Homo-oligomer: A and B are copies of this chain.
Amino acid sequence: MRNFNYQNKTELIFGKDTEAKVGQKLKGLAKKVLIHYGGGSVVASGLLDRIKDSLTEAQIEFIELGGVKPNPRVGLVREGVTLCKAEGVDFILAVGGGSVIDSAKAIGIGACYEGDVWDFFIQKAKVSNTLPVAVVLTIPAAGSESSTGCVITNEENDYKRSAGHPSMRPIFAILNPELTYTLPAYQTACGLVDMFAHVLERYFTNEPNVTLTDRLCEATLKTIAEQGLAVMATPNEYAGRAEIMWAGTIAHNGSLGVGRSEDWASHMIEHEISGIYDIAHGAGLAIVFPAWMQYVYQHDLGRFVQYAKNVWDIPTEGRTEESIALASIEATKRFFKKIGMPTTFEDANLPIDRLEEMADKAVENGPIGGFVKFERNAVLHILKIAAELK
């Protein structure tokens, strides 16, 4: 196990009707709040009105900025930054899923900075400070509700890049599983893949002697796979929705990665796909991860066998390590397919004529991946597997 520091200050307020507490929670923390959201469902469901009522009741001043899209754009972030500076906003409340939270986090750091907020995403500036952000979560997926980072897309050049800092963990996050009943099946499924991938990125490590975190990862993966099928089948049942919402937070709060190297190549390759084609991040991950596994499994057959046994209950007797490893990749794919996710470019109706460009961009800042390190050609190889050209 490696040396590590771990601290997660986010207060998690989990359960039924918890969004009604938001005004009270903000008391003493905020004078003027920017409520940040997407559009459609948060408005139509009446959630936004309930949030506003709660703030009004607690006598907290607020302004609004809606319009966040999946793969949140730096354009809207810049608008939010200008708004916060002009209006003297001292707190941002994100009402939505990972895209809204990430957009709010980016506005938070931008509002404390003189230059252009994109600087943080291209290593031209380092985050040191942010406006505080809190969350009312409506999509369990990104884990952004208690994580240190955010991912933003620059619509001018199709770059999708991340920034992070411990100060960016939200102050509190309200997690009410009931708010997720009405999520479209496709979005639920994208969320499942996203949280599953967050654990996989940590699980595939070269660090020996990380038994406890291995087991905690396996516990979380197994629960996502099992309860994921349950929520797809019965979207209005509290039990499964609650398990999945909690799993999404655990998957990305950092605790599963302590003391071990992590990978993250699949996320970086996926960012190139959704940066260009604007598909959902979870769908992109469902395409990339099986291809990544296919490419790397021989690097550590033992770990894939462990994954097969402990996550997928794949029988091992009388089989070679290689066949068990391959079966675990098949099981991963099968899970993604069962919940309606694409696992190839074709499944997602994506063209396959810009693979080289994606490979170039993925390694622009150097090789990627902690489990196996990739130069450009390896990335291209993985993209070709996903495009069924290999």
Chain A interface (Cβ < 8 Å from any Cβ of B): 1-16, 18, 208-209, 211-213, 215-216, 218-220, 222-223, 226-227, 238-239, 242-243, 246-247, 250, 255, 258-259
Contacts and interface: CB of A to CB of B under 8 A. Distances in A.
Given A209-B242, A211-B243, A223-B212, A14 B18 contact: no
B215 A219 contact: yes
A1 B219 contact: no
Contact of A211 (B5, B18, B226, B258): B226
A120 B125 CA distance: 49
B15 A11 contact: no
Given A211-B223, A212-B243, A7 B15 contact: no
B11 A5 contact: yes
Contact of A219 (B8, B218, B239, B258): B218
B14 A4 contact: yes
Given A212-B243, A223-B211, A239-B208, A8 B5 contact: no
Contact of A5 (B3, B13, B213): B13
Copies in the complex: 2
A212 B208 contact: no
A146 to B, nearest CB: 10
A239 B209 contact: yes
Of the listed residues A208, A243, A250, A259, the one surrounded by the most CB atoms of chain B closer than 10 A to its CB is A243
A1 B243 contact: yes
A258 B216 contact: no
Contacts of A2: 15
A204 B244 CA distance: 22
A226 B14 CA distance: 33
A301 to B, nearest CB: 21
A370 to B, nearest CB: 18
B212 A246 contact: yes
Nearest to A172: B7
Given A219-B216, A242-B209, A259-B246, A12 B3 contact: no
Given A212-B219, A223-B215, A239-B209, A246 B1 contact: yes
Of the listed residues A6, A209, A212, A247, the one surrounded by the most CB atoms of chain B closer than 10 A to its CB is A212
Given A3-B18, A9-B9, A212-B223, 14 more contacts: A1-B239, A1-B242, A3-B14, A5-B11, A5-B12, A15-B259, A209-B242, A211-B223, A212-B219, A212-B220, A212-B250, A215-B223, A216-B219, A255-B255
A247 B215 CA distance: 11
Contact of A209 (B18, B209, B243): B243
Contact of A11 (B3, B6, B208, B209): B6
A246 B223 CA distance: 22
Contacts of A208: 239
A4 B245 CA distance: 13
A218 B243 CA distance: 16
A11 B7 CA distance: 5
A227 B215 CA distance: 13
A14 B9 CA distance: 17
Nearest to A1: B242
Contacts of A12: 4-7
17 contacts: A1-B238, A1-B246, A3-B15, A3-B18, A5-B11, A7-B12, A8-B8, A9-B9, A14-B259, A208-B239, A209-B238, A211-B227, A211-B243, A212-B223, A212-B246, A215-B219, A219-B219
A226 B209 CA distance: 12
A211 B12 CA distance: 19
A254 B7 CA distance: 14
B7 A212 contact: no
Given A242-B209, A246-B259, A259-B242, A7 B4 contact: no
